[in-house]
Structure 1
Amino acid sequence: MKRSTALFLFLCVTLLGPARALQVTDDRGVSVTFAQSPQRIVSLLPSLTEGVCALEQCQRIVGVDRYSNYPASVRRLPVMGGGLDPNIEGIVALKPDVVLLAVSSRASQRLESLGIKVVALEPKSHADVRRVLSVLGVLLDVPEDVGATRLWRIIDSSVSAAAQSLSPKARNVRVYFEVSRGPYAAGESSFIGETLARLGVKNVVPASLGPFPRLNPEFVVRANPDVIMVGNRSMQALVAYPGWSSIKAVKEQRICVFGVDESDVVVRPGPRMAEAARLMAKCLEDKAR
């Protein structure tokens, strides 16, 4: 090694210091230690992909799951299957420093047995989104004041602004939100239900039924909501269920069917929750009478 090169490396280590080791605890309760902040990341959950990019570290992602499609830049990345059917061989070939995935993913143990570090994070509520962004900030070594804390402050204040934008008539409505055919609904205890509550409207599906219960269509008939929202990512045809013609929202055509891109926004618990709140608020204002 030339003396000039050796001197340069010495100065780099002396002035900048060695790479900082870090540790995070994921949603399995597992502590994962890294010699330095991961530079090659595979993300197998759209909300985590969006979280990394919202923290302005999108360039570190080298592979994604089939549903990660935002921001547009990630659509050019290698697709590694999904949480239930991950392409293990493909993931290994990408030589990631870490794989981000849901707690429910089947890939964790297999990847760890192959020596690949895994961080499992699964936001299911507004509080979870804030916490997950904070964990990602630590993992990515992004300072809180310019990273997760600042990002959450923007999200939270923007949701509040969406609520404040509603007229009184739009706040006093009863809402049914369908997330997929079944019907599967977003209950009060879901992150979607939390957003609706912050907008000041009444969710007709109580928390006691769980976050995303499958309902008997008759339940919705009895609930008789004023507004129906449909965030159906699979975009199955919107066919009325038996008896739904008698529902107030159906009779008065107070139904908002979110398009493909909008559905991605409203059904993902992540950094675009403020945009989701604005979409819901627009629906409420448009349909309020």
Structure 2
Amino acid sequence: MYSEPEPDTARRMRGVHATAATVFDAKPVGSREAWGWRGRTFSRPVATPSGEAWLRLVSAPADKAGGKLWDGPQEAERLMPPAVPRPRLRERRTWTEGEHGYLAELYDKVTDPTITTHEPVLREAPDLNGTWWDELVTALDAIAGVSSDRVAVRQEYLDRAMPEYLGTPIDTKVPAWTTAHGDLHWANLTAPALTVLDWEGWGLAPAGYDAALLHAYSLLVPDTAAEIRRRLGHVLETPAGRFAELVVITELLQTVTRGDSLELEAPLRTRLAHLVEG
């Protein structure tokens, strides 16, 4: 979840969301709103004849409206096993309006809140019990076992970006690939009951990628980062897992150059030094 975008984008997305609600015979409920990065997505709880639901609107330039990100939730609904708790997709619609393409998705409502609300970075330790952690481990193992030709991370990107952003010569060949959620951070996880949200970008990634990403977004809270290493050590404390951490550090250091997550730069570089020297 991110902050509200600039006014023109917010006004457009709210208007199109209201139109989409009528298509699904739904009415917005309450004042809760959830924004994606720079207003690319906008979601609200709604009431439908069959009960409460969650209506998510995705926007993209008309010539880029489609493909892997557009189909991710639908494919997750088809392929993810029951061990992966996620909101169930009821219906979807796509259309083009002027310069923008839109995807509206109606989900079963998830009642538990996300662990962070406006950003993926963790800033204080969450109150998570052992059951939550056990279910996360089970979910990530189940995701890794799904067979799919979708791709979340590309070898070609790593060949170019890892030497550039890590600042050190490195073998960029991925040692092992598995299926990953691809955007596993604290704003995409709920508690006290675990639900994994946002299935746009899932697909093949370096083995351990999800665990590495969640760990990186936890570096400002050392106790939680240590808990992740303990709970997911079977993934992270392997050569493939350490490589996945280098991949994630590469990606996040690139976002730092764009002005995002600046406070993560120092702990990311500290973790990088540990991995390279170790």
* TM > 0.5: no
State the TM-score bracket (shorter-chain normalisation).
under 0.3
TM-score by length of 2: 0.28
The structure having more radius of gyration, on CA atoms, is: 1
